[in-house]
Amino acid sequence: MSNIQQQEEIQKAVNAAVEGINADLGILWILVAAILVFFMQAGFTLVETGFTRSKNAGNIVMKNFMDLSIGSLMFWVIGYSIMYGGDTILGGFMRNPLDLAFFSNDDWHNLFFQTVFCATAATIVSGAVAERTKFSTYLIFSAVLTTIIYPISGSWLWPFDDKAWLNNLGFIDFAGSTIVHAVGGFAGLVAAALIGPRIGKYENGKVNVIPGHNLLLGSVGVFVLWLGWFGFNGGSQLAFGGTNSVAVGSVIINTNLAAALGAITALLVTWAKYKKPDISMTLNGCLAGLVGITAGCGNVSAVGAAAIGIISGVVVVLSIDFIDRKLKIDDPVGAISVHGVCGFLGTVLVGVFAIPGENFAGGLLYGGGFKQLGIQALGSLSMIGWAVLASFVVLFILKKTIGLRVSEKEEIDGLDIHEHGISAFGEQND
């Protein structure tokens, strides 16, 4: 064998080793990111608990616990197959639920990563219906959302193959502004509307504030979510090593900037609007920036990410006020606005701020015209429409059978005592 041939063989071996290392790094990064997303459940629990009354804290903990538990089971049993199965059925509406049922393939890391995303979508609903929903009813709806509603909408894009119709259109939702957040947010909107407001929220034509019992818990929860979002968005690169490492770094910076600008903007807007910087709105501004950047974090520049954060920070304040005062839909934590409205907004803004790439003209600001903007709106509205329709059907059936909300006495006394037989804070109560 000549020296040239030896060098070629050595180079091939080196290339193969590098590819193997990069593949292993990618799997490791996905698992680390998934663990960060898993921990976001604690963040959601803290936010929801802090923004509501202490007499319902234990119920909120149980709902978030069960979202993750039920989601882990049902997504493994059938949800993952509906989302990622090889064959489509019903004209491409969903994947074959039997292809990967009781998942046992080699890519366990992807199952875990997608499972915690699925649980996140379910948890969003919990905040929108807090303090008046039957625990049993909530569990049933959580199971349906994680088994059917979320996996079907996800199957339209995230397998990233020619059977995913939104993928074929060129729709971009990098980490799930629509697939996760808008789906969960608008499911929460339907649920909150059907269940109705908390007692005392709207009386004699007035909108009454029902303050949460502990904004300290809420703020710690937002910090936990902000941290976890680096895994949520960064892990969605689905690879690490080489150019992928640079891409992950860019995604994380974009995520951080959008969160920071969302918080600052919401603070300034509320300061101007209410003459004082509102704490809960500022916290929701941070979350709105995180949700808004999730769709385009891998496709926009740092300046674009900052702009999305600013826009999200303005919109979330206006949306929370509109839904509460004009629509009179009671959303104790602002989940509908943060996840639903800003999820849709962030997805559409990809069509404005996306930078040009290979075989991609870019967003409106980069001379790409209105094409991508239209694709983004169509894709997001399609998923939202499915979530609204499916949620309404399921919740309407539940309302007419076992009921959606607790009795007036149970709501006044607190769900902890009546639903679980204990107070989360011992003798303390509102």
- At 232-286, the pLDDT tens digits run 999 999 888 888 899 999 999 999 999 999 999 999 999 999 999 999 999 999 9
The pLDDT of residue 429 is: 47
Q: What percent of the chain lies above the pLDDT cut of 70?
A: 97
Strands 88-89 and 94-95: antiparallel
Determine, yes or no, domain membership for 2.
no
Where in the sequence is the domain holding 387, given as residue range(s)? 8-420
User: Is residue 146 predicted with pLDDT exceeding 70?
Assistant: yes
d(CA 379, CA 176): 12
What's the number of domains the chain is made of? 1
The pLDDT of residue 275 is: 95
d(CA 42, CA 63): 12
Question: Mean per-residue pLDDT for 25-48?
Answer: 96
User: Is residue 13 predicted with pLDDT exceeding 80?
Assistant: no
Q: Look at the block and give the residue holding tokens 């309407």.
A: 396
Count of C-beta atoms within a 10 Å radius of residue 76 = 19
Count of C-beta atoms within a 10 Å radius of residue 182 = 32
The pLDDT of residue 4 is: 73
d(CA 140, CA 149): 13
- pLDDT band at 430; cut points 50, 70, 90: very low
d(CA 374, CA 166): 12
Q: Which of 395, 397, 386 is nearest to 150 (CA)?
A: 386
**Position 63: which residue type?**
K
- pLDDT band at 345; cut points 50, 70, 90: very high
Q: Which of 293, 312, 313, 221 is nearest to 253 (CA)?
A: 293
d(CA 15, CA 24): 14
d(CA 192, CA 175): 26
- CATH number (domain holding residue 397): 1.10.3430.10
202 backbone dihedrals φ, ψ, rounded to 5°? -125, 110
- pLDDT band at 89; cut points 50, 70, 90: confident
Determine, yes or no, domain membership for 3.
no
Count of C-beta atoms within a 10 Å radius of residue 163 = 16
Question: 193 or 104, which is more confident?
Answer: 193
Q: Which of 301, 329, 332 is nearest to 210 (CA)?
A: 332
Mean predicted lDDT score pLDDT of the chain: 94
Q: Which of 266, 291, 292 is nearest to 279 (CA)?
A: 266
pLDDT in tens, 107-117: 889 999 999 99
User: Is residue 216 predicted with pLDDT exceeding 90?
Assistant: yes
pLDDT in tens, 391-400: 999 999 999 9
d(CA 185, CA 155): 18
User: Is residue 87 predicted with pLDDT exceeding 90?
Assistant: no
Q: What percent of the chain lies above the pLDDT cut of 90?
A: 83
User: Is residue 386 predicted with pLDDT exceeding 80?
Assistant: yes
- Residue 164: HSE in the Cβ half-sphere, 13 Å Cα cutoff: 23
Determine, yes or no, domain membership for 429.
no
Determine, yes or no, domain membership for 354.
yes
d(CA 82, CA 85): 6
3-state helix, strand, coil in the chain (%, to 5): 70, 5, 25
Question: 8 or 62, which is more confident?
Answer: 62
- pLDDT band at 1; cut points 50, 70, 90: low
Determine, yes or no, domain membership for 427.
no
Angle at 270 between CA 267 and CA 275, to 5 degrees: 115
Q: Look at the block and give the residue holding tokens 């292809």.
A: 99
Determine, yes or no, domain membership for 107.
yes
- pLDDT band at 427; cut points 50, 70, 90: low
The pLDDT of residue 8 is: 67
The pLDDT of residue 20 is: 72
Say what the pTM is. 0.94
The pLDDT of residue 337 is: 99
Residues 6-37 as b or e (16 or more Cβ within 10 Å = b): eeeeeeeeeeeeeeeebeebbbebbbebbebb
User: Is residue 131 predicted with pLDDT exceeding 90?
Assistant: yes
Count of C-beta atoms within a 10 Å radius of residue 220 = 16
Determine, yes or no, domain membership for 259.
yes
Determine, yes or no, domain membership for 117.
yes
